[in-house]
């Protein structure tokens, strides 16, 4: 016995199911946008924080240690897959975050290629968030 037209979900119902079950989203707090100065930089800050926070089992997500600290290592073109930021948008956003002191950026070889290393400056970030709450 095959399903009838009535048994199949409508396009709206199928979309609703997909939207509720999809993990293809980015959680961006408004304060990140405010601190970063614009939407794209706020989204990138949100993703930098995601990688710097422990996973749901409490394990660190960052794996690269250099100069006594942990770094997020990601090529500028990889940010498109991460959060739909083009290399040009990433360059502008990371320069903005660096100018505000929220991140430190280095460029070192990783797997044989010069790659951007991003270090989160927790003290600066937490002070800026606290100042926003006043």
Are the C-beta atoms of residues 95 and 76 closer than 8 Å to each other? no
Distances (CA, A) of 51 to 21, 70, 72: 22, 11, 7
Q: What is the pLDDT of residue 110?
A: 94
Closest CA to 116 of 124, 99, 104: 104
Q: What is the pLDDT of residue 132?
A: 87
Q: What is the pLDDT of residue 94?
A: 98
Residues of the chain with pLDDT under 70: 1-5
pLDDT digit string, tens, across residues 10-37: 999 998 888 888 888 888 999 999 999 9
Which domains does the chain show, CATH number per domain?
27-133 (1.10.10.10)
């Amino acid at each position: 016995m095959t399903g009838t037209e009535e048994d199949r979900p409508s396009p709206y119902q199928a979309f609703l199911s997909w939207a509720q079950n999809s993990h293809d989203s980015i959680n961006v707090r408004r304060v990140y946008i405010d601190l970063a100065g614009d939407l794209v930089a706020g989204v990138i800050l949100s993703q930098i924080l995601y990688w710097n926070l422990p996973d749901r089992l409490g394990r660190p997500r960052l794996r690269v240690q250099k100069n006594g600290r942990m770094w997020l290592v990601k090529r500028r073109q990889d940010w498109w897959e991460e959060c739909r930021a083009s290399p040009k948008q990433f360059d502008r956003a990371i320069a903005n975050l660096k100018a505000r002191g929220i991140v430190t950026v280095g460029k070192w070889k990783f797997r044989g290629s010069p790659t951007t290393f991003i270090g989160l400056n927790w003290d600066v970030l937490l002070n800026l968030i606290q100042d926003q709450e006043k």
